[in-house]
Each structure stands twice: as structure tokens, then as C-alpha cells.
């Protein structure tokens, strides 16, 4: 059980939050009826949380900034939708209180959560009760009350926060008619409860027992029983659109004027600011009928970029036109290039000098597609791919980076790619497939080193799982078979093998799997890179 939240624990919490939001995305989307029933709250919360983790991963080991600050910046700059933007404000509020300070104990976290809830309210132009904001405030009040009552341990405080938020969530249908008539709790508040439960699990090691998130009943929609005037915070007359952009090169006075103007144009206005290495930036979210006027207001305030406009009315995703979507993968051998090209993927060859941000950007541009998923296929290339994607988005492309850390994860991702889905949903599905694939590889040590499995000498065969050496031996086949046994001991239904220049190791591993693990489906590909005799994926 953790006594305080240090940087490692904070990172662990947010990774757990991403996992639970990924698992619950569909249920949260189904609950989404407020402020508009566009069915994307779960998706937006997940994308926002993933953006926070991506910022942390991009900085890598030895980060010069506190983890709180990195997560806050990533969340604000990557926030999606109304609930995602408010979640980003909560993260930023926590960072304002806790970044650069000693690990947070119970009282420190309670005070920070209370401050974060207050700043979240201030970020929303016209806050409603019975929403994400109410749930956040109730969780914070419960945490502070626990401290006041003498329950100051971190575990006691985070349990109180999570329980208080859950009680507030259950009360939301009594505060908003639109929720009551649809038979749902607030979707954004439900997402925050999942994030706080992930914190409880991180601190205590025990997952809270909660009832499933689901509609309480079905039936006629509220619109038949209530007039339009009874429904709070509906979008302006007409079809309406969600407008969101990042704003740079603006000062506080200009942002205040922007907020005033956007409040007159529409509703669901949320503005969240965060410091970046190049200056302060704001994430601006609003629902309006006049899209042009909203963007013009942004131009007058500063430099809007990453502008997105989404119709508020839920509409079926149109069948994509040929050439509108592409997948770009980084590969390290001709064999892998042939393999990915055969799956309809564009490739960037990683030569002796590696691959650069410009190399990936050039291939994105050369695809001529509007929507592009990028598979870096190497943990070290994920931040490089992220920077290339950001530049492409600034140029008007919709780009998503699927954080594949091995070619086998890339193969798992393209196996589930579906151009018939909305692009954001497709990127999430690819990322989930990649994350569900445990990856490993067999290499030969080039020099003496101290590994997690002990000291190795030049010429030793190394079996690595998820980047950590777990087996050291003298024979390629022996290490490979031992490595597969270890991976499969945790379960699995399918093993994907990418065999390097020597097919004998592939033959030996296939024979071993047939004898020792006869129920495992095996997919073998030849043509792996010269320096990696075997790459493995287990699903």
C-alpha cells in the first residue's frame, strides 16, 4: 500500500486510468446524453487520458519536469470534447498544487483535489449541476472531510474521494431532467469515477467493487415529455457544431475577450490553459451554430491551430472514399517492408542511421490521404512519430499514432483496422489490439552488460520480453523456446513469429510450440531484420 504519490505512482495511476477508460469506452459513450447525445464522451475521455500518457512517454527516462506537469500539458493540449477538456482541467489543477513538491500524502492530495475541482468550475463558462463538475467537487469534499475527521492516510483519502464521487454520480439523474428521462447517470462524471477508482487500485492494490455502468431503463426519449425550454444547455437552434482548437500567442486579456465572445455565440464553453516550453497555450471548446464566427474570434485573440469542427447531431459514419485513409509503418528490413506492404500499408525504411521525424512526415504527406494512422513499431520511435504527426495535423491532416513498440504489435494493429469505422474509433481499436499483444525478441549481445536477468557477455543470446532481458543463454533455439514458454505461462491463444535471416530458429520454435503448446495458433513470417533472429507476439 502506498503512503504517498511519487512520480512513479502518478504515472502508474494514469496508465491504469487509460486501461479502464479503454475497457469502459463503449459503456460511457452509451450513457452520453448531455450536453448533447452525440455518443462520444467515453472516446473523448480516453483520447485525453492517452494524450497525457503520450506526453509522459515522449519525455522518456530522466525527464527534467515533474510527471504531474507533463501529464497536465499532454492532457490539455490533447483534450477532446467537453468532458475531455474538463478532465484536462482537473489534471492541470492537481499539477498546479503538486508538481515539483514532495510526494503527496493524504492531506496534500485532498487539498489539491479540492483546488482542482474549483479550477474546473472556473474553466466552464456556465456550469451545470448534475454533471462532471458536481462529481469532481463531491469527490474533493469527501476527501477533505476524511482528513478533517482524522482519516489522513493516503489510502483513506483516495477511497473517500472515489466513494464520494460515486455517490454524487448516482444522484445526477435527480439534478438534470435530461439524465432522468434517459435513465442514465452523467457520462463524464462516470468517467471521472473510473479514474478515481483507478487511483484507489494503484494506492491500495485492491480494485473497488462497483455496480456496472448501464442505462437504468429504456423508453421514450425525454423530448416527448418536455418542451425544448425545459432542457438545460441544449445547443443553439439549427444543426450546430462542436468547435475545438488550441490557441497560442495570446495573453490573459485576449483570452478573457474570447471567452466573452464565444459565450454569446454558443454554449458548452470550456477554456483551459497550460504552460508549454514555447509559452502558454489554451484549449478552447464550444458548441455553436456559426462555426466561422467562432474561429474568427480565435484568430482575433491569438493563433488558433489544430482546429476541429464536428457536427453535434449524431450521424452515421459515411463509408470512406478510396484514398481518404492510410496506414504508415516504420520497418527495419526489406522482409518486413514486403510484409506490411502486402497488407496495404505504406512503409518508412529505418536504415543504418535510423529514421527521422521528416522521414515519417514525408511518407504521411506522400500518402495523399486525409486520415493516417502511424505505426512506429519501436518504443524509441514513438515520440518521433508523435512529433511528425503533430506537424501533419498542423498542416490539416488527421493523424493518429498507434504506439506500437514492435513489428508484431504493428501486425496485430493492422489485423483489426477497419476503414468503415470512424477514424478515431479505428485508431483506438488498433491501439487496443497492439496493447493486448505481449512482445518479445531474441538478440545476441554485442558487449558485456548488466541486465535484469544478470550479467551477459559478448555473443550471449538474450531473450527479452517487453524490453527487459529475462533469459540469457548460449543457443538461439534454446533461448527462444524458453522465452516462448515464459510468455505463454501467462496465457495466450496465438503466437506470431517474425523470423530473421536464419530460418532454422523459426523451425525449432515451431516444432517446440507444436509439442509443448499444441493448442496455440502459430503464425510465422520470414524476412525479419538482420540483427534480430526472432521477434514474437503473444495474444
3-state secondary structure 69-126: HHHHHHHHHHCCHHHHHHHHHHHHHHHHHHCCCCCECHHHHHHHHHHHHHHHHHHECC
Q: Please give the pLDDT value at position 447.
A: 92
Q: What is the CA radius of gyration of the chain?
A: 25
Q: Which residue has the cell 541486465?
A: 451
* Average pLDDT rounded to a whole number, residues 514-520: 91
* Average pLDDT rounded to a whole number, residues 385-390: 90
Which cell numbers hold the place of 89?
482541467
Confidence at 103, pLDDT banded by 50, 70, 90: very high
Q: Virtual CA dihedral for 530, 533, 537, 538, nearest 10 degrees?
A: 180
Confidence at 236, pLDDT banded by 50, 70, 90: very low
Q: How many helices (H) and strands (E) does the chain have?
A: 18, 16
pTM higher than the cut 0.85: no
Which cell numbers hold the place of 276?
508549454
State how far the Cα of 424 lies from the Cα of 418, in Å rounded to an integer. Answer: 11
Q: Is the pLDDT of residue 323 over 60?
A: no
State how far the Cα of 537 lies from the Cα of 333, in Å rounded to an integer. Answer: 18
* Average pLDDT rounded to a whole number, residues 185-213: 89
In CATH terms, the fold of domain 325-435 is Rossmann fold (3.40.50)
* Average pLDDT rounded to a whole number, residues 145-173: 93
* Average pLDDT rounded to a whole number, residues 444-450: 91
Q: Is the pLDDT of residue 285 over 70?
A: yes
For residue 238, report the phi and psi dihedrals to the nearest 5 degrees: 100, 180
Q: Is the pLDDT of residue 213 over 80?
A: no
Confidence at 164, pLDDT banded by 50, 70, 90: very high
The sign of the dihedral angle between the CA atoms of 295, 300, 301, 302 is positive
Q: Please give the pLDDT value at position 40.
A: 74
Q: What is the CATH number of domain 1-219?
A: 1.25.40.340
Q: What is the CATH number of domain 235-315?
A: 3.30.70.120
* Average pLDDT rounded to a whole number, residues 202-225: 63
> Residue ranges of the domains in the chain?
1-219, 235-315, 325-435, 438-538
User: Exposed (0-12), middle (13-18) or buried (19+): which is 380, by Cβ within 10 Å?
Assistant: exposed
Share of the chain above pLDDT 70, in %: 91
State how far the Cα of 377 lies from the Cα of 418, in Å rounded to an integer. Answer: 19
Give the 3-state secondary structure of residue 186. coil
CA distances from 90 to 10, 114, 138, 360 (A): 14, 10, 13, 34
* Class of domain 438-538 (CATH, top level): alpha beta
Q: Please give the pLDDT value at position 38.
A: 54
Which cell numbers hold the place of 56?
509522459
Q: Is the pLDDT of residue 318 over 80?
A: no
Amino acid at each position: 500500500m502506498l503512503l504517498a504519490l511519487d512520480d512513479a505512482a502518478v504515472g502508474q495511476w494514469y496508465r491504469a486510468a487509460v486501461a479502464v477508460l479503454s475497457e469502459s469506452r463503449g459503456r460511457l459513450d452509451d450513457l452520453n446524453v448531455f450536453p448533447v447525445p452525440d455518443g462520444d464522451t467515453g472516446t473523448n475521455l480516453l483520447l485525453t487520458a492517452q494524450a497525457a500518457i503520450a506526453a509522459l512517454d515522449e519525455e522518456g527516462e530522466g525527464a527534467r519536469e515533474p510527471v504531474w506537469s507533463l501529464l497536465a500539458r499532454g492532457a490539455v493540449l490533447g483534450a477532446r470534447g467537453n468532458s475531455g477538456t474538463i478532465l484536462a482541467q482537473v489534471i492541470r489543477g492537481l499539477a498546479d498544487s503538486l508538481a515539483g513538491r514532495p510526494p503527496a500524502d493524504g492531506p496534500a492530495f485532498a487539498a489539491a483535489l479540492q483546488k482542482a475541482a474549483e479550477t474546473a468550475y472556473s474553466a466552464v463558462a456556465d456550469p451545470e449541476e448534475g454533471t462532471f463538475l458536481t462529481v469532481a467537487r463531491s469527490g474533493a469534499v469527501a476527501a477533505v472531510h476524511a482528513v478533517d475527521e482524522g482519516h489522513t492516510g493516503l489510502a483513506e483519502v483516495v477511497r473517500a474521494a472515489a466513494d464520494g464521487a460515486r455517490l454524487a454520480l448516482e444522484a445526477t439523474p435527480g439534478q438534470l431532467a435530461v439524465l432522468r428521462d434517459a435513465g442514465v447517470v452523467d457520462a463524464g462524471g462516470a468517467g471521472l469515477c473510473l479514474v478515481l477508482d483507478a487511483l484507489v487500485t494503484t494506492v491500495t492494490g485492491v480494485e473497488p467493487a462497483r455496480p456496472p455502468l448501464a442505462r437504468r431503463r429504456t423508453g421514450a426519449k425525454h423530448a416527448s415529455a418536455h418542451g425544448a425550454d425545459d432542457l438545460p444547455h441544449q445547443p443553439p437552434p439549427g444543426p450546430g457544431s462542436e468547435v475545438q482548437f488550441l490557441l497560442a500567442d495570446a495573453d490573459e486579456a485576449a483570452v478573457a475577450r474570447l471567452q466573452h465572445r464565444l459565450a454569446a455565440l454558443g454554449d458548452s464553453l470550456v477554456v483551459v490553459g497550460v504552460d508549454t516550453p514555447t509559452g502558454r497555450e489554451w484549449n478552447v471548446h464550444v458548441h455553436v451554430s456559426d462555426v466561422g464566427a467562432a474561429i474568427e474570434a480565435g484568430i482575433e485573440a491569438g493563433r488558433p491551430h489544430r482546429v476541429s469542427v464536428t457536427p453535434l447531431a449524431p450521424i452515421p459514419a459515411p463509408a470512406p472514399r478510396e484514398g481518404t485513409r492510410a496506414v504508415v509503418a516504420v520497418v527495419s528490413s526489406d522482409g518486413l517492408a514486403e510484409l506490411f506492404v502486402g497488407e496495404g500499408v505504406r512503409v518508412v525504411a529505418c536504415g543504418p542511421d535510423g529514421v527521422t521525424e521528416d522521414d515519417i512526415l514525408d511518407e504521411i504527406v506522400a500518402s495523399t490521404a486525409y486520415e493516417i494512422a502511424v505505426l512506429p513499431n519501436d518504443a524509441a520511435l514513438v515520440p518521433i512519430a508523435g512529433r511528425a504527426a503533430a506537424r501533419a495535423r498542423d498542416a490539416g491532416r488527421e493523424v493518429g499514432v498507434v504506439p506500437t513498440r514492435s513489428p508484431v504489435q504493428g501486425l496485430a494493429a493492422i489485423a483489426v483496422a477497419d476503414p468503415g469505422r470512424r477514424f478515431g474509433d479505428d485508431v483506438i481499436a488498433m491501439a487496443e489490439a497492439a496493447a493486448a499483444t505481449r512482445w518479445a525478441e531474441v538478440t545476441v549481445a554485442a558487449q558485456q552488460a548488466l541486465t535484469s536477468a544478470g550479467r551477459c557477455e559478448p555473443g550471449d543470446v538474450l531473450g527479452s520480453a517487453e524490453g527487459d532481458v529475462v533469459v540469457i543463454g548460449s543457443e538461439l533455439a534454446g533461448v527462444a523456446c524458453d522465452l516462448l514458454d515464459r510468455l505463454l505461462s501467462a496465457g495466450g491463444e496465438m503466437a506470431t513469429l517474425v523470423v530473421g535471416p536464419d530460418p532454422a530458429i523459426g523451425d525449432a520454435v515451431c516444432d517446440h510450440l507444436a509439442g509443448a503448446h499444441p493448442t496455440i495458433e502459430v503464425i510465422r513470417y520470414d524476412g525479419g531484420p538482420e540483427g534480430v533472429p526472432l521477434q514474437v507476439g503473444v495474444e
